[in-house]
Structure 1
Amino acid sequence: MSLTAHIPSHRKPRQRSASTIALRAGVAGGVLSTIAVAGAAGPASADPVTETIEMPALNVAGLSEAVAQSAQATQQIVLDQELQAQEDAAAVKASQAAKKAKAEAVRKEEAAKAEAKKRAAAQERASRTAERTALSATTAGTSSKPSSSSSTPSGSVGTVIAFLKAQVGDAYVMGATGPNSWDCSSLVQAAFRQVGIDLPRVSQDQSTAGRQVGTSNLQVGDILYWGSAGSAWHTGVYIGDGKYLDAANPRKGVVIQDLSGYPATGAVRVL
């Protein structure tokens, strides 16, 4: 070793790399930063602050009272709801009972009307039966003078005429066959059935059911028709004195009319 090596001016300077210089600078900077942070934080961490938080005291008595009041209010609401439900159910039940009572009253009223109508119809039928019996008894043993013939009607003619007169006032209904409503041909058919003669049902056939006699030689009990024989549209029965009896139309019903007001086309005799 050289004797002058310890003298700085005589030392050979060391070659330091750039990375070494940068590393040392970084380390130095980090140390200085740590010192600065520690210095700043030192006094704060030296004396920690202790704070005591006081919890409010619970009012147990007040809380119990509030809970009791809430339970009481809830119970009252439940009671009110139950009472309302009971009132609603009672109202529905009363309404149903009222409807049922009204329906029953209507039913009884209708039944009473039907019964009254039935009794009236029965009385009317009994009256008609009595009238027919009386007329049959009166006419069956007597003769009727024809308007244009010297012959005397038989008892069967009297029965036919009595039946027809007993129906005067009945209604005219197309297609009806009695006992209180008729059309023209059903009335004629029913009258002759009283003496065992079964005539056709419709006017066309009734106009050819017996012997043609014309309208100038009529006898009581002859069947009158309007229209040509075989295609007549209306029939009735001659009852003498220029009159005939028929189920005329819906407006008149069963009536006695003057033949001169509505002359027949022809007539047939079955008795």
Structure 2
Amino acid sequence: MLREAATNGDTTDLEEYTSMTSYISKCINDVTISKSITTLSNQKPWMTAKVRALLKSRDSAFRAGDKDALRTALAKVSQAIREAKPTHSQRIHGHFQSSGDTQRMWQGIQSITNYRPAPPACDSDASFPDALNSFYTRFEAQNDLTVRKTIPPPEDQVLCLTKADVRKTLCRVNPWKAAGPDNIPGRVLRECAEQLADVFTDIFNISLSSAIVPTCLKTTTIIPVPKKFPVSCLNDYHPVALKPIIMKCFERLIMRQIKDLLPPSLDPMQFV
């Protein structure tokens, strides 16, 4: 259906076809449930996930008015706390067992004192994003050469990806990877690999045959991360680029195809 909407005669508009990522993002927003998690500043350092779960069970029994369940929940909470405190104490003592490991010693001191570094202050200057953008794109501003597309020879064989390879790559996506500007998280691509493999295989093969990369897959979100504190100039920011995860999958598939064509004499640690 998506390809038919983007096809006019024998030509498929790749930009319109790839806009299906916006539809995926809309579906994610429709079914995603937002939750607010409150973290108390006086939370005990020995608090564990097991104790938190038992405390929730205790509160549920109290609100329900079930005295027997509340009595059982209180006993379990007390037992879990008695187990959590010695475990936390042993973990702290482990930081001071080796006098030569100063890093672990400082980690133990920070844990005892509940030390938390102050978050860096955000620059409130409205012109700061424009200044960063000009700083990061200064190399492109000096390049006045016109990009020309090279027409491949007719005897060249175009790479063709299979649905099995695309599905395998989607299943291996790290669900904890940060999403790019398309707002499609890795967990969605991984869990819905079987349903998305067909359409993405088609998009990838059209892109390879036409030698065109869709604009939405080339869009990148730049996150400026300070190299040091305090920041004194724009060069003290390290730009971290967040690309769409599906574009990373595309690049990984192409890399495998290229590596298969390379001679075996290539060093396995050579970057492609």
Q: Rg larger in 1 or in 2?
A: 1
Q: Give the structure with the higher percent strand.
A: 1
TM-score, length-scaled by structure 2 = 0.19
TM-score, length-scaled by structure 1 = 0.20
